[in-house]
Amino acid sequence: MSVADILDMQDPAAVANPYPIYTQLRESGEMVWSDRLNLWLAPTHATANAVLRAKTMGRIYNPLEPQSEWDIFNWLHSDSILDSEPPKHTRLRSLVQKAFTPGRINALQPNITQLCEQLLDEAQTKLATHGHFDILADYAEPLPVLVIADLLGVPRDMAEDLRRWSQDIVKMYEFGRTREQELQAQQSGSDFVNYISGLAAERKINPQNDLITALVEVEEQGEKLNEHELIAMCVLLLNAGHEASVNGFGNGMVALFRNPDQLELLANDPRTYSATALEEFMRFDSPLHFFDRTATADTQIGSVTVKAGQKAGALLGSANRDGSVFENVDTFDITRESNPHIAFGAGIHFCIGAPLARLEMQTSLPMLFERFPNLALAGDPVQRPTFVLRGWETIPATA
């Protein structure tokens, strides 16, 4: 048994609270080998950062077997920006980078504000009729789904399908998935592909002012984007464009309820504190906990040499609790000024949607407290049983 085997990502206790285990994993300050996972774990800020930034640690997608069964799922990943390395990654990233500059994203502000208003109106109606609403299902969840759908040009009434397909696909990133989950992921992957193919074909005939049309035009010019890459890009943007945002917001809200002094501070003055609060949401209980890389050549990370072909996993949630980087590391402090968390990753795959995620949360967080200054839990939140994508199923609230 190796040191890192204290982390069992399928153990409900580790899912409920991985932080004491992370503290132990960080003790040596170095990467630790896990026999259980057959890879190095990078638990400190420095090692996780180094794994994500090393040019010889690549995001290499291993096709799932048998390939015939996983055909669509495999190309959906191997042709996506997230699972590509340069030069393919550089080409794919440059095609969408322009759509995600802070300037282009800030232009979405009125749309985001209007969506928040609408969702808050609906939440208020629920509150009046039932005495409670759900911060996730009624607010944190629909907002990013609708925003990314609008950006791509997917009709809003597809939101429920997008959410369901994404949820089925991301179960494949967890440890210990079941056969049933695999079959569901295959089905949802192909439903998602069929839907986006149809929409792209429709945009060829009837172009609109949206990101799908822009990508279709690039694809038609040839060379820069093939059809699989076009579809994989849209599916990834729609999926990555909401999964972490939903959970990041929810995790932060639960942290607020568990720290009444911080809740009061924010509720009394939401405009002053929301920018630092949302960075603390990302740091204190990060929505994404594990991303792995494969060494394409022997790579030195701290005192450990990762041999070519070996894998290393960056534990983002642990890196963000590293006491050598953050003061009072286990304290949830929404006024924290210096907060160099790596919840959005690092290096060439650094989250392209970070400006969008930040804008969404910077808009929705103060609006939630302006509408409901006395927001409180209406029951126990229910946690998701997943380690990699860390979040809550429900957060019942009253006001």
- Record the tokens describing residue 136, joined without a space: 């996730």
Least Å distance between CB 9 and ligand HEM? 17
Would you say 108 or 352 has its CB closer to ligand HEM?
352
> Active site residue: 14, 351, 354, 399, which one?
351
Would you say 52 or 127 has its CB closer to ligand HEM?
52
Of the listed pieces 180-188, 236-244, 268-276, 332-340, which binds ligand HEM according to CB under 6 A?
236-244
Of the listed pieces 238-246, 265-273, 305-313, 381-389, which binds ligand HEM according to CB under 6 A?
238-246
- Record the tokens describing residue 365, joined without a space: 């967080």
Would you say 33 or 173 has its CB closer to ligand HEM?
173
Can residue 252 be called a binding residue for ligand HEM (CB under 6 A)? no
What single letter denotes the amino acid at residue 85?
E
Pick from 387, 394, 317: which is nearest to 11 by CA?
387
Q: Quote the crossing angle between the two packed helices 142-152 and 159-170, to the nearest 10°.
A: 100
Q: Which of 142, 287, 317, 396 binds ligand HEM (CB under 6 A)?
A: 287
**Rg, the chain, Cα only:** 21
245 as an active site residue: the answer is yes
Can residue 59 be called a binding residue for ligand HEM (CB under 6 A)? yes
Long-range CB contacts (< 8 A, 24+ apart) of 202-209? 203/153, 208/153
Would you say 306 or 343 has its CB closer to ligand HEM?
343
Q: Which of 165, 195, 291, 387 binds ligand HEM (CB under 6 A)?
A: 291
What single letter denotes the amino acid at residue 154?
V
Pick from 145, 174, 178: which is nearest to 162 by CA?
145
99 as an active site residue: the answer is no
Burial of 357 (C-beta count, 10 Å sphere; 0-12/13-18/19+)? buried
Of the listed pieces 39-47, 128-136, 319-327, 341-349, which binds ligand HEM according to CB under 6 A?
341-349
For residues 137 and 123, give the distance between their C-alpha atoms in angstroms, rounded to a whole number: 10
Q: Which of 7, 31, 54, 82 binds ligand HEM (CB under 6 A)?
A: 82
Number of residues in contact with ligand HEM under rule CB under 6 A: 25
Phi, psi angle pair for 116, to nearest 5°: -60, -45
Q: Which of 57, 146, 352, 389 binds ligand HEM (CB under 6 A)?
A: 352
Using an 8 Å Cβ cutoff, are 7 and 41 in contact? yes
Q: Quote the crossing angle between the two packed helices 227-240 and 243-258, to the nearest 10°.
A: 10
- Record the tokens describing residue 222, joined without a space: 């040839």
> Active site residue: 34, 185, 360, 378, which one?
360
- Record the tokens describing residue 250, joined without a space: 């929810």
Using an 8 Å Cβ cutoff, are 365 and 277 in contact? yes
Burial of 161 (C-beta count, 10 Å sphere; 0-12/13-18/19+)? middle
Least Å distance between CB 354 and ligand HEM? 6
Rule CB under 6 A: which of 84-123 touch ligand HEM? 93
- Record the tokens describing residue 41, joined without a space: 């774990």
3-state secondary structure of 179: helix
351 as an active site residue: the answer is yes
Can residue 392 be called a binding residue for ligand HEM (CB under 6 A)? no
Can residue 143 be called a binding residue for ligand HEM (CB under 6 A)? no
> Active site residue: 85, 219, 243, 280, which one?
243
Least Å distance between CB 89 and ligand HEM? 6
Of the listed pieces 2-10, 118-126, 243-251, 317-325, which binds ligand HEM according to CB under 6 A?
243-251
Name the residues annotated as catalytic: 240, 243, 245, 351, 360
Contact residues for ligand HEM (CB under 6 A)?
Answer: 52, 59, 81-82, 93, 148, 236-237, 240-241, 244-245, 248, 287-288, 291, 343-345, 349, 351-353, 356-357
